[in-house]
Amino acid sequence: MKKIKVFVAGAGGKMGREIVKIVLQQEDMQLVGCSDVRSQGLDMGEVLGMPRLNLEISGPVTPETLRGCQAEVFIDFTNPQSVLANAKMALTAGVATVIGTTGLDEAEISELRELSLKKEVGVLIAPNFALGAILMMRFAREAAKYFPHAEIIEMHHDQKLDAPSGTALKTAEWMAEVRKPMLQGHPNEYEKIDGARGADFQGIHIHSVRLPGFSAHQEVIFGGNGQVLTIRHDVFSRETYLPGILLAIRRSLTSKEFVIGLENFLD
| DSSP labels, 120-156 | T--EEE-S---HHHHHHHHHHHHHHTT---EEEEEEE
The CA distance from 120 to 117, in Å, is 5
Residue 233 clears pLDDT 90, i.e. is over it: yes
Q: Could you tell me the pLDDT band of residue 102, with boundaries at 50, 70 and 90?
A: confident
Q: How confident is the model at residue 139 (pLDDT cuts 50, 70, 90)?
A: very high
Catalytic one among 119, 157, 160, 205?
160
Q: What integer pLDDT is reported at residue 116 of this predicted model?
A: 95
DSSP-derived 3-state class of residue 96? strand
Overall fold of domain 4-125+239-265 = Rossmann fold (3.40.50)
CA atoms within 13 A on the CB side of 147: 19
The pLDDT value given to residue 75 = 97
pLDDT range class, residue 182, cuts 50, 70, 90:
confident
Mean model confidence pLDDT for the chain:
94
Q: Cα separation of 229 and 238, whole Å?
A: 28
Mean pLDDT (whole number) for 204-216: 97
CA–CA gap between residue 243 and residue 130 (Å, rounded): 8
pLDDT beyond 80 at 267: no
pLDDT tens-digit readout, 43-91: 999 999 999 999 999 999 999 999 999 999 999 999 888 999 999 999 9
E-strand ranges in 163-202 read 199-201
Helix/strand/coil for 40: coil
Which residue out of 5, 156, 207, 233 is catalytically annotated? 156
Rounded Cα gap, residues 256 and 254, in angstroms? 7
* pLDDT-derived band at 180, boundaries 50, 70, 90: confident
Residue partners of 99: CB distance under 8 A and separation at least 6: 75, 76, 83, 87, 123, 124, 125, 126
- Decide if 205 is catalytic: no
- Kindly tell me if the per-residue pLDDT of 28 is higher than 90: yes
- Residue 156: active-site member: yes
Angle between helices 131-144 and 166-178 (to 10 degrees): 30
Domains in the chain: boundaries: 4-125+239-265, 131-236
Give the CATH class of 131-236.
alpha beta
Q: Would you say the pTM of this structure is higher than 0.85?
A: no
* Long-range contacts, 102-111 (Cβ 8 Å, 24+): 102/127, 102/162, 102/165, 102/166, 103/79, 103/161, 103/162, 103/166, 104/80, 108/84, 109/260, 111/84
The answer to whether the 4-125+239-265 and 131-236 domains have the same CATH topology is: no
235, pLDDT greater than 80: yes
Q: Name the residue with higher pLDDT: 187 or 102.
A: 187
What digits encode the pLDDT tens for the residues 196-209? 999 999 999 999 99
Rounded Cα distance between 121 and 115, Å, is 8
pLDDT band at 150 (very low <50, low <70, confident <90, very high): very high
How high is the pLDDT of residue 161? 85
